Amino acid sequence: ADKDGGWTLAVETPAAGYTPYEITFDDGEKTTLKNILIGEVWLASGQSNMEMPLKGFAGCCIMNGADDIIVSAENKGVRMFTVPKHQTYELQTDCKGSWNISSIETAPDFSATAYFATSLSRALRIPVGIICSAYGGSTVEGWISRELLENYPDISLNPDSIERLHPMLRPMLMYNAMLKPLQNYTIKGFIWYQGESNAHNTELHEILFPMLVNDWRNYWQQPEMPFYYVQLSSLNRPSWPWFRDSQRRILKAIPHSGMAVSSDLGDSLDVHPRHKKEIGERLARQALCHTYHRAILPSGPLFRKIKTEGKQAILEFDYAEDLKTADGQALRTFETAGDNGIFYPATAIIKGNRIIVESEKVSRPHAVRYGWQPFTRGNLVNKDNLPASTFRTDL
């Protein structure tokens, strides 16, 4: 207990299951919490693509979202909590909101991506709660503490400077208002869908994103806490191939992390892909494989190494079981470059779990890239039809 009478208590819980429990507090006046299930809880955060509800945004719908809403009551073990969008300069210890049972009344307003809880609950056969704390348009800086941001003089934390920024772009304020209040909640891990507002500055994001992950893990005092994130989709913005590849390379800098590829689900003009259910399922694969140790492929092919033999570049991948193309056509979007760094379209063929790449315009390949168009339609997948990530071998 502290000087203001606030107190915390850790309670050892029974095994996960669907038996409802009650907790009663008695300080002279009894308060009872009812219909409590024991299970796993995950925290979902990011910007608008995580915030986007099953009912969609105005003028932007979720693919099959209505179908998921109709059957939502069947998800007996799924509970949902949405943290209201809020910003503060001072650290908060509480927030508004309440847990909701999955139903046709509540599901329309809940994050479509964070509905990955349904996949986890069905696979694990236990209840799964999901807390969604997302703010549309927010930058990674918005979700990092003042203590860390103070080390970066280019990021002003002066209130006058912050107020001149668009509300979506303000640093630390979401952390204060929408993350800090969750500190004492026991959670299993994080899922994250953000980057659109940082894609113009890949170099800064490569510094700040691992910092955010480490900060959050320290916040919950669990240095190995799972952190699974979504790679940006396809969109006609020039910086996006660079940013997608940066997100792939960041995997090596963040232990106990995973990335869900979504480039095959993008729209050339809309920053909000409609196929949120598939993205949620790909995040669930990461959790089921790496956190719950189920025998399931977590990802599509991820570039591992390159070697050259004459005019050919030979590529090897992780998660390369039964490489194929998604549409049965020839491989697309592979390019290769010589020492001059000029990339040319290349022919790529599958040989076992390797890809052989060559171009008549490159006598000795130095680098290969794949899916390097902002709106890419690369078609390399593995046996589970999971797509390969954008990559470039010389970065």
Tell me the CA distances in angstroms from 340 to 48, 311, 363, 386, one per residue in order: 40, 15, 12, 33
Of 135-144, 181-190, 268-277, where does mean pLDDT reach its minimum?
268-277
pLDDT at residue 15, rounded to an integer: 95
pLDDT at 39 over 90: yes
For the stretch 86-111, pLDDT in tens is 999 999 999 999 999 999 999 999 99
Question: Which residues lie closer than 8 Å to 376 by C-beta, 6 or more apart?
Answer: 234, 241, 263, 333, 390
Residue 322 has pLDDT above 90, yes or no: yes
Q: Report pLDDT digits (tens) over 150-168.
A: 999 999 999 999 999 999 9
User: Which of the four pLDDT bands, split at 50, 70 and 90, describes residue 10?
Assistant: confident
Question: What value does the mean pLDDT of the chain take?
Answer: 96
Which of 345, 350, 340 lies closest to 388, judged by CA? 350
Alpha-carbon dihedral sign for residues 93, 97, 101, 103: negative
pTM, rounded to two decimals? 0.96
Query: Which residue, among 348, 359, 389, 345, has the nearest Cα to 371 in the 3D structure?
Result: 389
Of 40, 63, 43, nearest in space to 279 by CA = 63
